[in-house]
Structure 1
Amino acid sequence: MRVIDGYTIKAPLGQGTFGQTWLVEKNGQEFALKLFKNEMIRSDYDLKRINREILSLKAVNHPNVVKYVDDGVHSEGFENYHFLVMEYADGEPLRKFIERSGRLSVSQTQRITLQILEGLNEIHKAGYYHRDLKPDNIFITRLGDVLILDFGLVKILDASTLTATGAPMGTYAYMPPEQLQDSKNIDHRADMYSLGAIMFHMITGRLPLEIHSLVEAPYKIIHEVPPFASSLNPATPNKLDNIIATLLEKQQHRRKYTIDSLFIELKSLDDRTIPIPADLTLRFIPRLLHNERSIIEKYSETNKLDGIIFPANFLPKYSKVYEHVRDNGKFTMIDPVVYRLAYSKFSNVQSLVNLPYALSSFNKEIPADFVNLSQLQERAMSVMDWQLKNNPSVLVAPFHFLANTQDPWLDIDIKVFNECRKYLSDINESRPLYAGISVQIESMTDDISPIRLVNHYTRIQAEGYMLMFDAKLDTFNKAHYYAFGRIISMLGDMGKPIVLSRINDFGLGLMSLGATGLSSGIGFIEDFHESILIEEGGGFHLQPKYYIPQLLTSYSEKILKDIFEPAIGKELACNCPYCMGSTEIEYLCQPAITKGHYLWQKQKQVATLNEMANPERMRWFEQQVNSAISLAKQLKKASKNRNIVFDHFNYWIEAIKQIEKERTTALPSIAP
């Protein structure tokens, strides 16, 4: 057997860039012996530095730092090899531990990181930095203890070491940018960056930077911002997510933690807050325009108004109508309208440009604008502050329109929601925080996507949801109604308020699946399409339509004439305080009458449903739909107007019944 200075080599333990490590035995005790490659000691300066650091390392004595036992020079033929002997513990490198597990749990990540910090603190107190922290240099013993290896013995990594023979590409994922840019002036924050990379690897099972060649390594190390760990592992607590992101900042000064402060932060990763009792009262909540103050004030003088949704960009210029509702103790919600800032058309709307969280007067915002934690926190804080300034009943986190569950805005919106919650906690603000969800419904028409979407949004434990789907709700696409209903049903299982924004009477049926609030413009804009955000005109200047509750539909003035012409149509005359039994088209189509009538009827419908349990709500809705189909058939025959449509009503019922049937069926387990 080969013997080195009395140490008998038993087995190889590992091969690294700078040498090979062997399991050795001496006097019946096992040790680890590292034999350095001659080619890695390039000058007398390197040799002096190694000898100097070995002497210093003997003074570092800590349970989480491997103990150094011996060192010397071994001669074989004409070659001299430097060696180092250290304690041996049975176990494996952290890299293999992660590979076996896929990724580590939050508690495992927390426990291992705290032990690394303990050892690192002792090293830093001795006046040294590790300079090469990575999972291969962190050892996990069979008892679960952590040992830091190779401290101080590796040549300082600089740009020249990127060409070191045998260095695996993954090694560079843990390298802080300053080791390439100014390796002679690094400090404790270099080790903190490497620790952040290790934490990222533990909690996600992935490297923070995917580096495939030496050519791309310098650019990625210096410039590429890693994704948030939570985007790869949804179970990552927001607090841990932020710690990792902070440690991985490219600029040293942004890595704000000392070892002591990081240790304190990591001791508790609990993001949970005291639950706020859910208000599941059913409401019709009109989405107001800036010029509807007089209508709302007059209506609320004699009628019950559940509340309103008000676009953020109408404040403060048109705040009077909002304040009237709020100051009368009614439910108020402010739509942040952030989704409009992601489309160039916003630049033509001065009230959007004036929002304190608009990034530019000319450029639409894109996901690349939100890669740093500071950018996400600023968006969260500015949106929350704008809403808090106007004192609504609930708060709504900013959200964007999603093309599908792979849309990069999804992870950004989830992260910003968590930052909103953190900010509200920091300022002791306890009112409910809603998550907004806006998605292209066509992308939800497979079996898995709705489950994946719901899993994304339920993991953040919002106190409520505001939904605005790109879906035309009077077409004959049964899959769209089914997908819409499935999402409502799954979110409804959370027992949280669900407000459906820009929805027609299909929403009345969705109230049997868990929806608690319906919102639309007063007499118009009863559905939402992405084209509204893109095209000039975009639907914001439409004329209101007259709502006929017996037909579950709003009609234009032209169609209304044909409806009220036959005798059966006259029987549909409304006796509300606005219409007073009239069928005079010119009178009914006055904006004040049309809108007041619409408010009165919608509030009445929702109040009726509010007195029922879910099964009764479904039966009521089915009765209303069947009656509407019968009446519409008769009116279409009598008036010969092809624009009186009703076939989509059958799809409403068919979709909701199918979902009700499936509610007791176990859903497949799908990762977000």
Structure 2
Amino acid sequence: MPADTQKLKSIALTLYPDAEVTHLGTGGFASTFKVQRGSDVFAVKILDPERTDVVRTEREFAALRRVSHKNVVAYRAIDAITIDDTSFQYVEMDYIDGAPLSKSLKFNDEFDLKTAASIMMQVVEGAAALWREQTAHRDLSPSNVMLTESGQVVIVDLGMARHVDDETHTLLPTPGTPGWMSPEQVSKSPQRGDWRSDQFVIGLLAWRLVTNSKPFGKVTGVELWSAPGVIAIPKAKDVNARVPAKLSNVLEKMTQQQPFKRYLDPEKLLEDVGNAVAALEGDGSDDNSNSLCFYLAVGQIKNVATSEFVTELGTDGLILDAAGCSARIDVMTQVAASSKVNLAIDPVSYLDRSPIEARSSSYKKLPYGQRARILEVPKSESARADYCRSIVEHQIDNKTDIVISPYFLADSGELEWIDESLSCAETCRDILQQAGHKNEVWSAVAVGSGVLSGGAGLEHLLNALTATRLPAVYLLVHTAQVPFAPLADEGTLRGIRDVIAVCREIESPIIIGRRDVSGLLALGLGASGWSTGVSANLENLPRHLEEVEDTRGGQAADRYYVPDLLNSLKIETHARLRRAGLLTRTYTKYDRDLFSSGRPIAQISTTEQRITLRQHNMQAKSDQVAELSSLEPSKRREWMKTKIQEAQGLYSKLRGIVDPAELGTFLEVWKKII
């Protein structure tokens, strides 16, 4: 039932007895009137107290106060008048001399492409003004988009607008306009929607304007309400061949069914819409990316990283394993300082989900290592803050430049721990800010291969990562594969590729942690950084332990990294290939030291040799990262493709000579992924 128009008009006449008052429209809880008082013309919305949703009213008023933009209606004043003991709220705003876009669509008016693109651009710019104030409109239907005779677009009716931190929920499952809502707003478990929901509806509206067709055809009634969630609209250029590919691609991305597949950065959306509009006149734009980072992880007591080596390595920083490196944190802090590289400490907090008796003694010695087992997500913000504070303080006390937030391994059926890890990251940022520290924070997320392999787990992860813009993401992955070999599970790698893609979309640097040369593949796919494993035999994230068990990475073996093979071979295999003349190159000064006698070493017999071998492996990988980083971003994937092809060619010559397990079968999977 609509608001009482006659009653509200009488209120308007009482408010403005010397003005000309004209009724403009009535909705479910208010009527809007045009008020002309001499040369002053404005609009007033008067709320029916019997129909008013107080929360919605306050929300609209708050949204109006926060936003000032030419494409969003401007408010003048907010007040209330009491008549016969009844309070009537009202808001004065600019009068828009135009008509709602819905009127043109009702009469099937057709728009040329440039006009349609101009309307789209203005709606996006107006909506972006809301988004920058952390507000989503949530009802950007054609009825709420006014179009003046001069072609100016003005967004009106902010009654559905919500601040992103507003946790209140309406009684209606999905308030909005049927046919002009996002899939998540009309799903079986409807969500209140955020700016990505606005984006979807703007995409629908723009699609309607450039194709002059209804997005969901002749669907009506209840079916129209659910249509966004069940009907995928075709590409705009397939409906109207005159729509440029660039504009069609933008609309296709905006109207993806899953929020994480849409634009994840409002500024990127603005940029691409602007470029698409410019493309109508032959303009274009290019992409940019940052340089790549290589981090050396230090864990077990046998790891050696002197300041001289770190300087020569060219690493961007050291990541110390809080447990494995606990006895040498002071020393490594000095190494980082003298080498002028960043320092971070991996809190290895995933062990807090294991019984105390299953945790390593080194972890128990940490300030937070003696805690009881965490069985479920903390029930309160204060409990989370207390937990995070001890971990943050441990890192700050050790003079870290980067704070890695606590994280908990989430595998299939444990998706709530993804959310908890990201909540901990936000809490850590708050703690640092309150204490006046300006350390960079990496939002650490640890997942099992079951999450990355697709389905609900991957979708949950991607939606969680894109719900808010993260300064940086530190991704750790647990797989059942031996930790010292390149990742070869196609599902896991596809998931990593998808995570990298969405992080690039929201311009959140993503660092792939605790990985062997698979990190190089991740860089080729667009990751910003790569950290090695904490030792040659622990280049994987172990599981949180449910019982006491051996946590080592398997049988230790000395391995030599061959850049041309993108793999590490057992030292005896490497020696056999050199003796056969199939490997002749030396790649670093460290492997030249190993082979200074002119004879390939088939067995590492001294600590000095093992250190030199480890230094070669790190230097060879760092050199490849530097080579990849020197290329333009658009050429990095092609570089990786070439390296894979060359490695496959070399491997083809090794059949029958090396163990089948070392024949590089992983490269076929890499070739598919890249």
Deviations 1:277-321 (A, max 9, x none): x99442221210242564434523655343211122356531244
CA 1:316–1:445 in 2, change beyond 3 Å: closer, same or farther? closer
Q: Do structure 1's residue 309 and structure 2's residue 328 form an aligned pair?
A: no
Q: Which runs of 5+ in 1 are unaligned?
A: 1-10, 12-24, 30-87, 112-138, 146-198, 207-230, 237-277, 657-672
Partner of 1:90: 50
Q: Following the alignment from structure 2 to structure 1, what is the Cα–Cα distance between the partners of residues 325 and 420?
A: 25
Whole-Å separation in 1 of the counterparts to 2:317 and 2:171: 43
Is the alpha carbon distance of 1:414 and 1:544 closer, same or farther for their aligned partners in structure 2, counting shifts above 3 Å? same
For 1:445 and 1:204, locate their aligned partners in 2 and report how far apart those are by CA, in whole Å. Answer: 37
- C-alpha change, 1:480 and 1:348, in structure 2 (3 Å) is closer
Residue 567 (1) aligns with residue 581 (2): yes
Structure 1 counterpart of 2:336, which letter? R
Match in the other structure for 2:603: 586
Aligned to 2:450: 442
Cα distance per residue 1:576-623 (max 9 Å; x no partner): 234437221225983212211112111111111121122222122112
2:379 is the counterpart of 1:366: no
Please name the residue that 1:608 is paired with.
627
User: 1:483, 1:432 → 2: CA distance?
Assistant: 26
Report Cα offsets for 1:620-641 as digits up to 9, x if no partner. Answer: 211211111111121123x152
Task: Indicate whether 1:322 and 2:332 are aligned.
Answer: yes
In 2, Cα distance between equivalents of 1:627 and 1:498: 27
Output the CA distance in 1 between the equivalents of 2:634 and 2:502. Answer: 17
Aligned-pair CA distance for 1:431: 2.2
Question: 559-568 or 493-502, which moves further after superposition?
Answer: 559-568
Q: How many angstroms apart in 1 are the aligned matches of 2:620 and 2:546?
A: 29
2:154 is matched with none
Question: Identity over aligned residues, as a percent?
Answer: 16
Q: Distance in 1 between matches of 2:516 and 2:589?
A: 20
How far apart are the structure 1 equivalents of 2:294 and 2:646? 22
The counterpart of 1:538, out of the listed 546, 551, 575, is 551
Q: How far, CA to CA, are the matches of 1:106 and 1:559 in structure 2?
A: 73
Structure 2 counterpart SS, 1:468: strand
TM-score, L = length of structure 1: 0.55
Alpha-carbon distance change, 544 to 344 in structure 1, aligned in 2, over 3 angstroms: farther
Query: 1:549 pairs with 560, 563, 566, which one?
Result: 563
Give ranges in structure 2 of 5+ residues lacking alignment: 2-6, 12-47, 67-85, 93-165, 174-189, 196-287
For the 8 Å contact 2:292–2:529, the answer to whether it is kept is yes
Q: Aligned pair in 2 of structure 1 residues 428, 280: CA closer, same or farther (>3 Å)?
A: farther
**Aligned in 2, Cα 1:288/1:544: closer, same or farther, shift over 3 Å?**
farther
User: Offset of 1:461 from its aligned partner?
Assistant: 2.6
Q: Distance in 2 between matches of 1:653 and 1:388?
A: 42
Aligned CA distance change for structure 1 residues 584 and 204 (closer, same or farther; 3 Å) = farther
Q: Which of residues 362, 367, 374 in structure 2 aligns to 1:351?
A: 362
Q: How far, CA to CA, are the matches of 2:486 and 2:313 in structure 1?
A: 30
Residue 654 of structure 1: CA displacement?
1.4
Give the 3-state SS of the residue equivalent to 2:445 in structure 1. strand
The DSSP-based 3-state class of the residue aligned with 1:462 is: coil
Displacement after TM superposition at 1:464 (Å) = 1.0
- Offset of 1:450 from its aligned partner? 3.4
- Separation of aligned partners in 1, 2:334 and 2:425: 29
**Which AA in structure 2 matches 1:304?**
G
Q: Is the 8 A contact 2:169 2:192 kept in 1?
A: no
Query: What amino acid is the match of 1:567?
Result: G
The 8 Å contact of residues 587 and 593 in structure 1, kept in 2 or not, is answered as: no
Equivalent pairs counted in the alignment come to 423
**What is the alpha-carbon distance in structure 2 between the residues aligned to residue 577 and residue 285 of structure 1?**
19
Cα drift, residue 142 of structure 1? 7.4
Q: CA deviation at 1:645?
A: 2.3
1:296 aligns with 2:306: yes
For the residues of structure 2 that align with 1:372 and 1:354, how far apart are their CA atoms? 26
Q: Partner residue of 1:136?
A: none
**Residue 351 of structure 2, aligned match among 323, 333, 340:** 340
Change (3 A) 1:205 1:289: farther
Q: Is 1:523 matched up with 2:483?
A: no
Identify which of 462, 469, 481 aligns with 1:454.
462
Instruction: State how far apart, in whole Å, the 1-side matches of 2:61 and 2:515 are.
Output: 40
Once the 2 structures are TM-superposed, how far is the Cα of residue 330 of structure 1 from its aligned partner?
0.5
**Deviations 1:58-80 (Å, cap 9, x if unpaired)?**
xxxxxxxxxxxxxxxxxxxxxxx
CA distance in 2, matches of 1:356, 1:630: 51
Assess, with a 3 A threshold, how the Cα gap between structure 1 residues 93 and 463 changes in structure 2: closer, same or farther: closer
**Equivalent runs, 1:202-241 vs 2, <5 Å:** 202=169
Match of 1:148 in 2: none
- For residue 483 of structure 1, report the CA deviation from its aligned partner: 1.4
Give yes or no for the alignment of 1:387 onto 2:390. no
Q: Is the 8 A contact 1:402 1:439 kept in 2?
A: yes
Confirm or deny: 8 A CA contact 2:418 2:446 kept in the other structure: no
Q: Give the equivalent residue in structure 2 for 1:51.
A: none
- Provide the alpha-carbon RMSD of the alignment: 4.2
Contact 2:345–2:403 under 8 Å retained in 1: yes
CA contact (8 A) 2:559 2:570 kept: yes
Q: 1:628 to 1:425 in 2, by over 3 A?
A: same
**Are the aligned partners of 1:548 and 1:572 in contact in 2 as well (CA < 8 Å)?**
no
Alpha carbons 1:588, 1:594 under 8 Å: kept: no
Aligned to 1:653: 671
Among candidates 465, 475, 478, match of residue 470 of structure 1: 478
Residues 351 and 544 in structure 2, CA contact (< 8 A), matched pair in contact too: no
1:166-245 aligned within 5 A: 201-202=168-169
**Structure 2 CA distance, aligned partners of 1:402 and 1:282?**
27
Does 1:486 find its partner at 2:503?
no
2:351 and 2:359 in contact (8 A); partners too: no
Structure 1 residues 312 and 486: CA distance shift in structure 2, 3 A: same
Name the aligned partner's letter for residue 420 of structure 1.
C
- CA–CA separation in structure 2 for the residues paired with 1:366 and 1:558: 46
AA at the equivalent of 2:463: N
Q: Tell me if structure 1 keeps the 8 A contact 2:358–2:548.
A: no
Return the offset for 1:338.
Answer: 0.8
Q: Distance in 1 between matches of 2:548 and 2:664?
A: 29
Aligned to 1:38: none
Query: Which amino acid letter does the alignment assign opposite residue 376 of structure 2?
Result: P
Instruction: Tell me: CA distance 1:358–1:624, structure 2 relative to 1, closer, same or farther (3 Å).
Output: same
Select the structure of larger CA radius of gyration.
1
- 1:439 Cα deviation after fit: 0.9
Counterpart CA distance in 2 for 1:409 and 1:525 is 23
Structure 2 CA distance, aligned partners of 1:106 and 1:377? 33
Classify 1:612/1:378 alpha carbon distance in 2 versus 1 (closer, same or farther; 3 Å). Answer: same
Q: 2:406 maps to which residue?
A: 398
Compute the displacement of 1:646 (Å): 1.8
Matched, 1:596 2:596: no
Q: Does 1:331 align with 2:345?
A: no
Q: Whole-Å Cα distance in 2 between the matches of residues 346 and 485 of structure 1?
A: 37
**Secondary structure, aligned partner of 2:319:** strand
1:542-565 Cα offsets, whole Å, 9 max, x none, are: 444221211111123454344334
Deviation string for 1:339-391 (max 9, x for gaps)? 1211237644222122223462xx422225x1122111112222211111112
**In structure 2, the residue corresponding to 1:378 is in which secondary structure?**
helix
* Alignment map for 1:103-142 (pairs within 5 Å): none
Task: Summarize the Cα distance change of 1:105–1:644 in structure 2 as closer, same or farther, 3 Å threshold.
Answer: farther
